[in-house]
Amino acid sequence: MVHLLCAAILGAFGVSLVVADDPYRFYTWTVTYGTVAPLGDPQQVILINGQFPGPKLEVVTNDNIVLNLINKLDQPFLLTWNGIKQRKNSWQDGVLGTNCPIPPNSNYTYNFQTKDQIGTFTYFPSTSFHKAAGGFGAISIYQRPLIPIPFPNPDGDFTLLAGDWYKTNHKTLQRLVDSGRPLPSPDGVLINGQAHSTFSCDQGKTYMFRISNVGLSTSLNFRIQGHAMKLVEVEGSHTIQNMYDSLDVHVGQSVAVLVTLNQAPKDYYIVASTRFMKTVLTATATLHYTNSLAAVSGPLPVGPTYQIHWSVKQARTFRWNLTASAARPNPQGSFHYGEITPSRTIQLANSAPLINGKRRFAVNGVSYVNADTPLKLADYFNIPGVFSTSSIQTFPTRSAASIATSVMPASLHEFIEIVFQNNERTVQSWHLDGYDFWVVGYGFGRWTPTSRRKYNLVDSLTRHTAQVYPNSWTSILVSLDNQGMWNLRSANWERQYLGQQFYLRVWNPVTSLSNEYNAPSNILLCGKAAGHHP
């Protein structure tokens, strides 16, 4: 059992923030296997510095992160920084299209900046099926001292990393999906790598809970017995501060809520349960009042299970706080995204075709396969034959499904509309590296140009991962102001592993450090890039 003390966390955090003159933070992380029993049976997991989940990165806007990652696994390994924009620096994104994986018994030092960002994010392994074994953790980016936040400083700050979990070894799961068989239902849900944990807080005080879905494929609903949650931040966006009894958080997403301990002094359930599944899986934690007079009791607070319309209605209530500052002193609403006409519309339809007799997943009929050379390196060194910029179209086609290392070209500073069309019966979750975007519309059925009448062009929030409901569409607007090779993928790990992804090449032919940084001197080289020099 993990037992966290609010005061201790806040005190330790306060010490870390006083070093305002030093914008560099140095870390050394060692990745190993270990044995834990989160669901009762001992199993192999991935540890970082002996921890499961991995260490929490607590940093400040514009900090420079220098992180030496040592791989002691028996397979190549990478970490990606989910939601960190990597401004002008896709070299550090940590996915197979930008980086060579770190070989066993080797290391790589990431060097990136949390440029103009605040909020709640995560990291996780991007290689193979390693995410099914752990290796994930939290990233909290706090505001600079002179930048106000639109709520009083909380009395404590907690992280809840929740997700579906399998007892089956990650290599076995990988072999299963490689064979064309579907990923089975998970065995349970974990909160912070545990079946049960306790959070101790003082009556009458208000605490922040940073909630992230780090699972493989399952949407979750969160709630706290007897307590309302005030939503204040979603993936770096300050929100209109609505109150909720429960919140849906889809795969790859993060939210931050404020909870005031205003009930009788006892213990209360914290619940994370699966959504849109026939069999509901549940994990619980305990909210413990330090002056508690009674143990947790009573039935678990009831949450939604399969109500799609309920979830859509809730998603539409997530709105941007236009007057609040974010990482910069200017208000979020000073960028009037709804007044900009997109240069083009990209429509992306997910599918689950059979290719060569095996089940795959595809975008616009193209199922992505990783090349042995990272696309970013092939682009930088002008290596031909690694990827194709013509294999994937900007709209769904009726052509037979195919396999390709697909890259979609785009121009730096384009402002585009992307429509995710989901004609399947499962909830999709889409993530774009290097960016956040405005989620302007959700709708049922097929998207048409008249669907734009339903868009919120005033106070849609920005985020990096958007859900798409069954037989529905979701529309986003993106300002392509970050040059690089950026992964657009399903956050459902089985789907992205089997091809539901591609890369967006955001490019300006003028070579300039104002557009993109040079290749780092320590970049790992592999495949056809081996022997080249940055």
pLDDT tops 80 at residue 7: no
| Cα–Cα distance measured from residue 339 to residue 344, given in angstroms and rounded to the nearest whole number | 15
pLDDT above 70 covers a percentage of the chain that reads 96
pLDDT tops 50 at residue 531: yes
Across 264-360, where does the E strand assignment appear?
A: 267-274, 282-289, 344-351, 354-355, 358-359
pLDDT tops 50 at residue 388: yes
Q: How confident is the model at residue 326 (pLDDT cuts 50, 70, 90)?
A: confident
pLDDT tops 70 at residue 5: no
| Cα–Cα distance measured from residue 515 to residue 484, given in angstroms and rounded to the nearest whole number | 9
pLDDT tops 80 at residue 8: no
Q: What is the model's pLDDT at position 22?
A: 54
pLDDT tops 90 at residue 151: yes
Q: pLDDT for 22-38, tens place per residue?
A: 599 999 999 999 999 99
Please list the alpha-helical segments (H only) found in 154-226. 170-178
pLDDT tops 70 at residue 12: no
For residue 378, list its beta bridge partners.
none
Q: What is the model's pLDDT at position 470?
A: 98
Whether 113 contacts 87, CB under 8 Å: yes
Q: How confident is the model at residue 327 (pLDDT cuts 50, 70, 90)?
A: confident
Q: What is the model's pLDDT at position 333?
A: 87
Q: What is the model's pLDDT at position 325?
A: 87
pLDDT tops 80 at residue 13: no
pLDDT tops 80 at residue 242: yes
Q: What is the model's pLDDT at position 70?
A: 98
- Burial group, residue 312, by CB count within 10 angstroms (0-12, 13-18, 19+): middle
Strands 344-351 and 362-363: antiparallel
Q: What is the model's pLDDT at position 478?
A: 98
Supply the DSSP symbol for 520. P
| Cα–Cα distance measured from residue 30 to residue 359, given in angstroms and rounded to the nearest whole number | 35
Q: pLDDT for 328-387, tens place per residue?
A: 888 998 889 999 999 999 999 999 999 999 999 999 999 999 999 999 999 999 999 999
pLDDT above 90 covers a percentage of the chain that reads 92
pLDDT tops 90 at residue 20: no
- What is the average pLDDT score of the chain? 94
